[in-house]
Structure 1
C-alpha cells in the first residue's frame, strides 16, 4: 500500500470515528434538563382530568416544592461553580455550569405559563365545588369595607414593617418566606423601599369572606392591598409580593472545626445553610424599574433570576382547600389501606416464617407492619443478641426507633448508623441520634466524605443451632409515613451467607471503612458499579454468541456515565433493554446504531415510584437484585449502598410480574421518544394503571387466603 493510500485510509478512519463519536453524543441528555422534564410530567398530572380534583391540587403543589428544592440544591450548586469560575464540563453533554444554569432558567421560564393556566383552571373547578379564592378587586364594596376594618384590628398590629434607609439596613429575607415590598415616595425625597414580612405563624393564610359561603382571600393579598395603610406617611408608587429562594447546597465536609463533635458539626451546617445566598426571586407583580434595581443590588441577583407570575409562589394553602372539600369523596383517590403482605398472612411469629423461606414486602400495597413486628419481637426475644441497622430518613414519631430503644433497654446490643448528612433531614436525625444514645444504643455517624444510604437491618440470634441471622434489605427508608406513599420493596431472609456479608458491612462501618469484596450482596462504593458492569458484559457476551440477552432496570435516576456507556454497548450488541426510570435519565433511547434496543418509560402516578430492581438475563440464567442504589455516580461511587440478590423463585416471579406490568402501563406511563420528549404510552393492552392493579392484587391476596381458611374450617366441621 502506498503512503498516499495509508494517509487516505487513516483519514477515512478518523472521519468514521468522529462521525460515530458525534452520533454517540446524541445518546446523552443533560442531568438538570432531564430533571426538569420529569417535573413537567408531575405538572401534567395536575392537568390530567382522569385524576380527581383534590389530587390534582396535590400534584401542582408537588411541582412547586420540587422546583423550590431544585433551585436550592442543583441550581445552587451550578451557581457556586459559575461564581468560582469552575467551568468544569459535565461529562456527558459537555455543558459548562454556566451553560447549564442558563439553559435551566430558560426552560423554567417557558414552563411558567403552563403552570399558570393549570392553576387558574383548578381554582375555577374548586369554585364550582364550593370553595373560591378571590382577589381583592373581586370583593363587593361592603366586603372591602369589612376587610379594611379586619386589617386594622386583626392583621396590622401583628406586622413588623421596615422602611430601608441609612439607619435601617435591608433585612435578611428568610428562605421561601413571603414579603410585601413597596416603592415609597415622600414629596421630593428619593424613593425608598418598604418591606412587610408576611408571617402566617401569627395569622390565618386563608381568610374567610363574610356572608359568602366558601369564599376566601389570601392573607398576603390582604397585606398587599392595604400596604398604603401601613406606610401612612408615604405615597405607595408600586408594590408586590416577593419570595426569595436561597442556595441550600452546602458541603457538610467543608466546615472544618475540630472543636465540634460530629453532631454539633451538622447543627452548624444547618445554621449556615439558612444564611446562604439568594438564587431566585419570585414576584407576583412586575416590579418597577427602581424596585428591580434595588432588590437585585440588595440580594446580589441578576435580573434573569427574577421570575414574575400571578400565581401564588407558596401553594401550601391548597391542602386547606382539600380539607374543606374532604366530605366530597369523589374529589379524592379511592381510599386504599396497605394489606398484610402475601408472605405474612396469618403469621404471628415473623422470625419463624423467615426461617422457612425468604419473604417479600411490597410497599405501599402491602403493610410495613410485619417488619415492625419483627423488630418488636426481636426486642423481647431472649435468643436475639443484637440488632444492627442503618437509618437515613425516619417518620416524625418513629416506631422503628421505639423498637430499637426497647431492645437496648432489654439488654440487646443495638448498633445504629444514623446518617446525619441526609439532606433536609439533618435536624430530625440529630434528635433521633440523641434519643437512641440516651437509651443505650451504640450510635455511629457514617464515614468521612461518604453518605450511608443503604437500607440494611441485621438481627443476630444465638440458639442451640449456633449463630443465626435475619437480614432485611430494602429499597426505601424505614419511615412509616412514606411506606404508605412510596413504592418500595423489602426482602427479609435467614440466608446465613447473606447475613455474614451484612455483618461485614456493619463491621466495616464501625471502623469507618467500606467493604472491599462480596460474593452475594453488591455493596457500593467498592463492589456495586463494577459488578453491574460485569453483569451487563455477561448479557453482551450472550447476545454476541446468539443467545437470548436481556436487561431490565427499575430506577429513580440514571446518570452514571460508565453504566450508560455500557448500556449503549449492550444495545449495539443486540441486548434487549427495558427501563422504568421515574426521574432523571441521561440516556437517550431510540438513536439509530446506538440505543435502538433500549426502551425507557417513566411512571408518575398516585404513589412515588421509589423501588429499584435490577434484572439480568432470562429464564434459568436470570439474575435479579433489589437495591437502595440508583445508577447515579453519587450512589455507585460516593455512598454506601446495598443491593440484595433474589434467590427465591416465587419472589423472582412476583418481581417479574411487577416489572412486566409496569412495562404495559398505559394510564400513568410515558415513553421516552427519540427526540428526548416523553409521551403517554399507547398500546394494544386493556386500560392498565399498574399502581391501582397492584393494590387490587394485594386486596385479592388477603381475600383469597381468608376464603381458603374458611373452606378448610368448613371441611373440618363436616
Structure 2
C-alpha cells in the first residue's frame, strides 16, 4: 500500500534544487565572483525551466488535458499554480541576495549607480551619451490602430511606457534594449568603475524618445516563451532531417509566452493590456527589485579578474591516475581497463587517443555518438581527420539535444563534408549514450577499444562537470557496443545485451531486477545494499522498487544532485533510504549504480539518470566495472561524496533539504578529490624524476 508522503512532484522538486543553487549565491564562504556566478546560474536555470517544463504544462492546459502526474496526482493546472507560487517566493529571496551581493561589489570598488545618485555634471554626461550613442540606434514602437503590438523576443529586454496626450491616454510605447548594438553598461567618466545599466539609461530618457507624449508609467519587461517543441511530431517529410531541425529552432523562438517579468511597479491597466496581448494572466507576471538579466555580471567579474581572492583557487585537471608520465592511453588500455575521472583528471589523454587513432595505420574505423560538443571541438577535428585519412567513421549526431541543435547541425555538416557517415538520431528517441568504439587490425587480428562514459565529449564542460569515463578492450563489452552501433545504423535499438544495460529496452528492467535481488536478500535476513549517484530520480517504477527495498531492510544511499521525486526517511516506507544533494563548485554529473556488497557487488557507470525519459525514451548505456582496482576507486569516490559535510544537503522526510552538519572536521568532497588527483600526479612525477636521476 503506497503512502503519498513518499513522493514529491517533479517540478516542485526541481525548484528545490534551484533553491540550493541560490543558497550558494548567498553563502559568504564562497568567493564574491563565484557567488555572482551562482546567482546568474539560478536565473538561467529558471529561464530554461519555464521555457521547457512550464511550457510543456502550459501546452497540456491548452489541450484541456486533465491527466494527473503519477506521484502527487496533480493536474497540469495545479502544477503551474504551485510552480508560480514557489517561483514568487524564490525570486523575492533572489532580490534580497542580489542587493546584498551588490553591497559587497560596491565595497570591492565597483558600483552600479542610479540616475538620481549622479551629480548634475554626470547627469549631463549621461544625457549627451544617450543622445549621441544610443538614441540614433533605438527602434521605437507606439502600439495603436495602425501599429499592432510587436513580437517580443524570448528573454529580450524592453522598455515599455504608458503614453498619454490630451486626446489619447491609452497608447503603449515599446523599445528593445538589448539588441546587441550598444554596450550593456555605461561607465561614468568622473567615477572610475561606476556604471549605469544601459536599459536603465534608456528607461530614464524615454521622454526624449516619445517627445509628443506624456510618460504616465514605465518599466523594463522581459518575456519568457515556451520552447518545448516535439520535433518528431511536426516532422516535414519535404525537408531532410537536418533542415527540419533548423526549422524547429526557428519555430521555438515564436512560441507562446509563459512568463512576464517587470522591473518596477507600473500602471495596472498597462500591465493588463500587455498580458492580454501576450495571452497570459496576471499570475504569470513577476515584479522584481533586481535587474531582469544578470549577464552583466560577466563584466563585473572581468573587472575584478586581477583579484584572485574573489574567485575559487585555480584547479588544473591532472594526469589520469592510471597513466605514467608520458604514457599513451592507446597503449595502456591494451593491457588493462582505464578509468578517467573529470574534472580532477584531464580529458587530454582521451583526445590524444582519438587523434592517434585517426593517424594510426592499424585503425580501420571509429564509431561514436555525439550529444553536446564544445564550440571548437577537438573530438570532431579528430573524426574529420580520420575520415580524410581513409578510415570508416560512423557518427550519430543527436540533432534534438535541446538548445544545442544549431551547434550540432553545423558540426554534422562538417562531418558529412569530410566523408563521415552521419546518422541524425532515431524517430521518437533521443540518443543520449556516450559511446565510442575504435576498431584496429593488427597482424590480421581485429581488436576493439570501447569507451563508455557518463558525460558528453566536450572539452569545456569536462573542466566543470564531474564525470567518469571507462576505456576498455573487454570483448563482451565490445560486442554489445558494436550491436548498439549496428542497431543505430539501421534506425533501431537493441532488444538484448550480454553485459551492458541499454535503454530503452534493457536498462530499466535490469535495474529493477538488481533492486529485486537486493530486496530478496534483505528478506532472507542478510545484509543488502544499493548505492546510486544520479542527476535526477523520477521513474515511478524504480522509485516504488526502492521503497519496497527499504521496507525489506535494504540500505539505500543516494547522491542525487537535482530532482528527487522520492522522499527519504518516511516512517514505515523509506526509513532505510538516505538522499543527499551536493551543489558546489563543480556540477555533479556522473551516474553510478552500485548493487550489493563484497563478492556480490556490481558497479556500473552510465549516461542514464533514473528518469522515465532516460530509462524508456532514450538510447542510454550503462557499463559494468569489471576491474577490481577501478571498482575500489569508484566505491571510494562514492564514499567521499557521502562523507561531504560542506556542500552536501540531506533530504528530510517532507522533501526539504538541510545542510549536513555531521563530523568535527569540514570535508568538501570535490576539493578532497582534487587534492587526491594532485597528490597522485605529484607522487608519480617525483618517482619519474628519481628514476631519471638514477639512470
Q: Which bracket does the TM-score occupy, shorter chain normalised?
A: over 0.9
CA distance in 2, matches of 1:257, 1:656: 48
CA distance in 2, matches of 1:506, 1:619: 34
Report if the CA contact (8 A) 1:540-1:575 is conserved: yes
Match of 1:643 in 2: 622
Match of 2:143 in 1: 164
Matches within 5 A, 1:182-581: 182-464=161-443, 466-581=445-560
CA distance in 2, matches of 1:327, 1:37: 35
Query: 2:105 pairs with 117, 126, 129, which one?
Result: 126
Report if the CA contact (8 A) 1:347-1:353 is conserved: no
Report if the CA contact (8 A) 1:179-1:195 is conserved: yes
SS in 1 for 2:689: helix
CA distance in 2, matches of 1:500, 1:676: 43
Where does structure 2 lack aligned partners over 5 or more consecutive residues? none
Query: 2:585 pairs with 567, 581, 606, which one?
Result: 606
SS in 2 for 1:449: coil
SS in 1 for 2:159: strand
Deviation at 1:59, TM superposition (A): 0.0
Report if the CA contact (8 A) 2:504-2:620 is conserved: yes
Q: Does 1:150 align with 2:129?
A: yes
Report if the CA contact (8 A) 1:521-1:643 is conserved: yes
Deviations 1:557-578 (A, max 9, x none): 0000000000000000000000
Q: Does 1:670 align with 2:649?
A: yes
Deviations 1:161-188 (A, max 9, x none): 1111111111110000100000001113
Where does structure 1 lack aligned partners over 5 or more consecutive residues? 1-19
Deviations 1:348-372 (A, max 9, x none): 4322200110001000010001110
Report if the CA contact (8 A) 1:419-1:446 is conserved: yes
Q: Does 1:696 align with 2:675?
A: yes
Report if the CA contact (8 A) 2:7-2:565 is conserved: yes
Deviation at 1:667, TM superposition (A): 0.5
- Aligned pairs, how many? 695
Query: 1:42 pairs with 21, 30, 43, which one?
Result: 21
CA distance in 2, matches of 1:569, 1:425: 39
CA distance in 1, matches of 2:202, 2:656: 42
Deviates more, 1:247-256 or 1:338-347: 338-347
SS in 2 for 1:194: strand
Report if the CA contact (8 A) 1:344-1:370 is conserved: no
Match of 1:588 in 2: 567
Report if the CA contact (8 A) 2:325-2:685 is conserved: no
TM-score by length of 1: 0.96
Report if the CA contact (8 A) 1:238-1:287 is conserved: yes
CA distance in 2, matches of 1:441, 1:592: 56
Q: Does 1:634 align with 2:595?
A: no
Deviation at 1:292, TM superposition (A): 1.1
Report if the CA contact (8 A) 2:130-2:201 is conserved: yes
Deviations 1:534-554 (A, max 9, x none): 001111111111221000000
CA distance in 2, matches of 1:455, 1:607: 20
CA distance in 2, matches of 1:660, 1:348: 29
CA distance in 2, matches of 1:641, 1:244: 35
Match of 1:6 in 2: none
CA distance in 1, matches of 2:466, 2:421: 31
CA distance in 1, matches of 2:353, 2:34: 34
Deviations 1:452-485 (A, max 9, x none): 0000000011112611000000000000000001
Match of 2:658 in 1: 679
SS in 1 for 2:52: helix
Report if the CA contact (8 A) 2:503-2:618 is conserved: yes
Match of 1:59 in 2: 38
CA distance in 1, matches of 2:104, 2:189: 21
Report if the CA contact (8 A) 2:521-2:528 is conserved: yes
CA distance in 2, matches of 1:66, 1:561: 24
CA distance in 2, matches of 1:460, 1:77: 42
Deviation at 1:113, TM superposition (A): 1.8
Report if the CA contact (8 A) 2:371-2:432 is conserved: yes
CA distance in 2, matches of 1:345, 1:163: 68
CA distance in 2, matches of 1:48, 1:289: 37
Deviation at 1:430, TM superposition (A): 0.5
Match of 1:8 in 2: none
Query: 2:80 pairs with 88, 92, 101, which one?
Result: 101
Matches within 5 A, 1:15-34: 20-21=1-2, 24-34=3-13
SS in 1 for 2:333: helix
SS in 2 for 1:43: helix
Deviation at 1:208, TM superposition (A): 0.2
CA distance in 2, matches of 1:186, 1:710: 83
Match of 1:10 in 2: none
Report if the CA contact (8 A) 1:577-1:597 is conserved: yes
Deviation at 1:199, TM superposition (A): 2.8
